A and B are shown apart, each in its own frame.
Chain A
Amino acid sequence: EVQLQESGPGLVKPSQSLSLTCSVTGYSITSNYWGWIRKFPGNKMEWMGYISYSGSTSYNPSLKSRISITRDTSKNQFFLQLNSVTTEDTATYYCARFTDTVAFDYWGQGVMVTVSS
């Protein structure tokens, strides 16, 4: 069974970087696509970006140059880094898998990240 699990700090200071890890079991990240989605307080959801089976990436332009998604295939993990965070980056962060239809069929449990001094 495909399982995803996010991990990382729950509190980040403004202007610092947010770094999260998504650990995948039951499926290789060298197949299909792997993305990050966040849900803000108030329920708005935002797709942040993805990394493909080949390692190519795509990002939401709203995040401009602040975001980076990388991977470690030997550990079957992929990573999110979001730079220069502000309080507006406070959200629950999810990692998820999607296929060619771009429907997110497997999700992690999510990790709540608060940006506060």
Chain B
Amino acid sequence: DIVLTQSPALAVSLGQRATISCKTNQNVDYYGNSYMHWYQQKPGQQPKLLIYLASNLASGIPARFSGRGSGTDFTLTIDPVEADDTATYYCQQSRNLPWTFGGGTKLELK
């Protein structure tokens, strides 16, 4: 299985930039696409898709969110961070079955 590694937590100040990383133990690129996706989950809510295929903004997601990366290293950036962004962020790969998720990064405000 492909293992996705995320830092458990990140603290940033309002208005600053948050960069959340996700590293995989196998390449998730295939025919020009990186099969990496990002989700936001707030307590008591379902996950929400933010970014698909590493860098594509999902429908209705503000442009403050962006994703980049390829191969085995990916990042989700939130700039600027707003109070409503406090949540846990997960990466997920769909390059190989079984599809797997990272352990999540909890974003907190300083």
Residues of A within 8 A of B (CB): 43-47, 58, 60-62, 94, 98, 101-105, 107-110
Contact = CB atoms under 8 A, between A and B. Distances in A.
Contact of A102 (B39, B99, B101): B99
Interface residues of B, number: 24
Given A44-B103, A60-B98, A101 B37 contact: yes
Contacts of B48: 107
Contacts, number: 57
Contacts of B94: 98, 101-103
Contacts of B88: 43
A46 B99 CA distance: 8
Interface string B80-110: 0000000010101010011111011000000
Contacts of B100: 47
B98 A103 contact: no
B52 A103 contact: yes
A45 B90 contact: yes
B58 A103 contact: yes
Contacts of A43: 88, 103-104
25 contacts: A43-B104, A44-B101, A45-B92, A45-B101, A46-B101, A47-B100, A47-B101, A58-B97, A60-B97, A61-B98, A94-B46, A98-B94, A101-B35, A101-B37, A101-B94, A102-B35, A102-B94, A103-B92, A103-B94, A104-B37, A104-B47, A104-B49, A104-B92, A105-B49, A105-B59
